[in-house]
Amino acid sequence: MNLQFHQLPAGHASSVIHRLPAGVKLGATLGLVGGTVLMPLADQWWFAGTAALLLIIAGLSRISPGFLLTRILALSPLVLGVALVNACQATGRSHWLGVAERSLLCLLTVTLAANTTPFSGILRVLQKVRVPGLLITTIALMHRYLFVLADEAGRMRRARASRTFTRTRRFQWQTLSSVVGQLFIRASERAERVYEAMCARGWQ
């Protein structure tokens, strides 16, 4: 399957990090994540060096520290969950802080890569390394329609909020569950329409 992807503008594409080839950035990301996961906790020089390198990359990429901090805090429950699971195990109580350290470094690495590499560039790299075309198409469609679903969810929540005057915590959770259910139904219907339209245009 020969896919054509259009170049999408990046948020801060004027920095030297943004101008690097996507393949180089993805390879470096895999190397840092793999090394951080496999390196023994006793070798703190690796973790300190990785943290310093990530801070230098963040500075060169001109990404706002507040933006990075917001992203890290939004995903930090995953890190805390992994650390707590290890802390609750008898064999992991002695190094759960190290697990949290590894998770944070991997999270920062992936966050920097995701915010300095256009998604179209990632898809091109996947195509060059012979990832199945069907998988690439599925990833591209998921990325495209995540934003569509997010906009749809926002409109549904605003519409529901404008029709009621109750603001209790219980009502907010009920509203959220209702929006999620309706969004799932609409997403399924939209997916069927998109699939039928693609089949009508010869997609296989």
Query: What percent of the chain shows pLDDT beyond 70?
Result: 79
Q: Which residue has the tokens 């790299």?
A: 125
CA distance 24 to 15: 15
Q: Are 37 and 106 in contact (CB under 8 A)?
A: yes
Q: Which parts of the chain fold into alpha helices (H)?
A: 16-19, 22-38, 44-61, 65-87, 96-116, 119-128, 133-162, 169-200
Query: What percent of the chain shows pLDDT beyond 90?
Result: 4
Residue 40 tokens, joined:
């023994």
Using left for φ > 0, alpha for ψ between -120 and 50, and beta otherwise, residue 168 falls in beta
What is the pLDDT at residue 4?
43
Q: Are 28 and 125 in contact (CB under 8 A)?
A: no
Does the reported pTM lie above 0.75? no
Name the residue with higher pLDDT: 193 or 3: 193
What is the pLDDT at residue 198?
76
Residue 127 tokens, joined:
């195509």
Q: Which of 67, 36, 60 is nearest to 49 (CA)?
A: 36
CA distance 170 to 92: 38
pLDDT tens profile 48-95: 899 899 999 988 888 888 888 888 888 777 777 766 776 666 655 556
* String of DSSP letters for 101-159: HHHHHHHHHHHHHHHHS-HHHHHHHHHHTT--HHHHHHHHHHHHHHHHHHHHHHHHHHH
